[in-house]
């Protein structure tokens, strides 16, 4: 490997690493604020904050890598132009197109990592996040049912539990209060003690001992009072409804073997992410050209516009495929084919056209 290639690869690696660290820190702050806000409202437990932040960060990692790759190549080559290093290398006989090879050598491994994340790891992470959230729903509901010293609601407030104390070693509870509503009738159960029992089918019951039940309709004189020795009360767990996994949780092989519009739309997004990452890295070469008369801000604004436009068009093509307005192959050819054509024109305009004019 030549000297200029080693220097360029080293600087692009450092710049991309710094860019990834900065945008990762910004994203983590945003995710932390949102997740901690949800935890402060009591919708999730504090112990679930870190796993949910991790899931969310890994979900966006392939986008962050794509952006970091683009920034690393763009800023490195822009500095070469601004500090006149590109002019020095050109005076030494190095053509501008020679920078294409080291940029490609740097971008391809990162693109492969992005492809691995987008096509294989992200669907698995989405599935794991859903399973973890379902687990939290069940666990939080069970814990809320029997929390000592706390009034806990279930069934949207139609059932209220209160347990004064819960033995650390055993399922026995003391001084139990339960209020439930059924077809407009209110039932209140008070017992001195009870025990949590699990049936063979997994159902959990709170078996109360030596208590009293009051039942009636508010405003009417039809209340009944019943004393009991044993009374079983089923503890309702959160029911996880059977659902079909969305396309984002399906592996790529399943999407291709079941080519419905929504599945193909998800596949178009997954395959489009690494393609766009590589194309943007190659776009950074002609965009990095520095013109002292125009200033550096023009290149930065053009790069931001290009990245935003490309990513949004990829997302728009996903919507078109999902709606059946465009096939997956046509979407890839239209979006990335036009991007490749624009890339070729930009290289010709920046590097080939000036030499052709000079020869005339």
pLDDT > 70: percent of the chain: 81
User: Do residue 170 and residue 42 come from a single domain?
Assistant: no
User: Do residue 250 and residue 130 come from a single domain?
Assistant: yes
Mean pLDDT estimate for the chain: 82
Host domain of residue 199: 156-235
User: Do residue 88 and residue 215 come from a single domain?
Assistant: no
Q: How far apart are CA 347 and CA 354, in angstroms?
A: 11
pLDDT at position 24 is 95
pLDDT at position 160 is 80
Query: How many domains is the chain built from?
Result: 2
Q: Give every CB contact of residue 175 below 8 A, 6+ residues apart in sequence.
A: 163, 164, 165, 191, 192, 193
- Is 299 a domain residue? yes
| Strongest mean pLDDT among 11-15, 172-176, 196-200, 237-241 | 11-15
- Single residue among 175, 202, 235 that ends a domain in this structure: 235
How wide is the angle at C-alpha 288 spanned by C-alphas 284 and 289, nearest 5°? 135
User: Do residue 222 and residue 310 come from a single domain?
Assistant: no
pLDDT at position 234 is 72
Contact (CB, 8 A) for 205 and 182: no
Query: Of 331, 227, 325, whose CA–CA distance to 270 is shortest?
Result: 331
- Single residue among 235, 252, 285 that ends a domain in this structure: 235
User: Do residue 77 and residue 106 come from a single domain?
Assistant: yes
Q: How far apart are CA 64 and CA 59, in angstroms?
A: 10
Q: Give every CB contact of residue 207 below 8 A, 6+ residues apart in sequence.
A: 194, 195, 196, 197, 230, 231, 232, 233
- Is 148 a domain residue? no
pLDDT at position 64 is 95
User: Do residue 252 and residue 131 come from a single domain?
Assistant: yes
Q: How far apart are CA 176 and CA 189, in angstroms?
A: 8
- CA 324, 280, 97, 360 dihedral sign is positive
pLDDT at position 240 is 41
- In this predicted structure, the answer to whether residue 159 has a pLDDT above a threshold of 60 is yes
User: Do residue 197 and residue 321 come from a single domain?
Assistant: no
| Strongest mean pLDDT among 145-159, 238-252, 310-324 | 310-324
Contact (CB, 8 A) for 199 and 205: yes
User: Do residue 254 and residue 125 come from a single domain?
Assistant: yes
User: Do residue 8 and residue 121 come from a single domain?
Assistant: yes
User: Do residue 256 and residue 354 come from a single domain?
Assistant: yes
- Convert the pLDDT of each residue in 121-140 to its tens digit: 999 999 888 888 877 765 55
User: Do residue 255 and residue 351 come from a single domain?
Assistant: yes
- Single residue among 170, 201, 235 that ends a domain in this structure: 235
Contact (CB, 8 A) for 173 and 149: no
Element (DSSP H or E) covering residue 201: none
User: Do residue 86 and residue 65 come from a single domain?
Assistant: yes
pLDDT at position 146 is 59
- Is 39 a domain residue? yes
pTM over 0.95: no
- Is 187 a domain residue? yes
- Convert the pLDDT of each residue in 251-268 to its tens digit: 899 999 998 999 999 999
């Amino acid at each position: 490997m030549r000297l200029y290639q080693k220097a360029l690869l080293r600087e692009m690696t450092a710049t991309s690493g710094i860019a990834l660290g900065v945008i990762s820190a910004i994203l983590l702050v945003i995710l932390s604020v949102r997740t901690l806000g949800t935890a402060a409202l009591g919708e999730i437990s504090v112990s679930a904050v870190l796993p949910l932040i991790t899931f969310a960060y890994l979900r966006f990692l392939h986008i962050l890598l794509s952006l970091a790759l683009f920034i690393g190549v763009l800023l490195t080559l822009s500095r070469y132009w601004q500090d006149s290093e590109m002019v020095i290398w050109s005076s030494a006989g190095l053509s501008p197109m020679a920078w294409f090879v080291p940029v490609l050598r740097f971008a391809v491994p990162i693109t492969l990592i992005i492809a691995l994340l987008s096509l294989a790891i992200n669907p698995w992470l989405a599935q794991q996040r859903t399973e973890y959230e379902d687990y939290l729903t069940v666990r939080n509901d069970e814990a809320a049912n029997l929390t000592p010293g706390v009034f806990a609601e279930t069934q949207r407030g139609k059932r209220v539990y209160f347990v004064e104390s819960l033995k650390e070693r055993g399922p026995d509870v003391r001084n139990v209060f339960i209020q439930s509503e059924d077809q407009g009738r209110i039932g209140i159960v008070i017992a001195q003690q009870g025990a949590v029992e699990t049936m063979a089918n997994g159902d959990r019951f709170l078996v109360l001992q030596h208590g009293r039940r009051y039942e009636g309709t508010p405003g009417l004189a039809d209340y009944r009072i019943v004393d009991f020795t044993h009374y079983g009360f089923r503890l309702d767990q959160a029911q996880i409804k059977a659902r079909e996994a969305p396309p984002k949780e399906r592996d790529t092989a399943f999407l291709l073997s079941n080519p419905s519009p929504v599945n193909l739309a998800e596949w178009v997004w997954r395959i489009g992410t690494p393609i766009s990452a590589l194309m943007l890295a190659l776009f950074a070469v002609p965009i990095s050209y520095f013109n002292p008369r125009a200033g550096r801000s023009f290149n930065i604004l053009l790069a931001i516009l290009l990245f935003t436009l490309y990513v949004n068009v990829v997302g728009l093509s996903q919507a078109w495929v999902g709606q059946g307005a465009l096939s997956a192959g046509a979407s890839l050819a239209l979006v990335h084919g036009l991007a490749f054509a624009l890339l070729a024109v930009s290289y010709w305009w920046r590097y080939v056209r000036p030499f052709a004019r000079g020869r005339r």
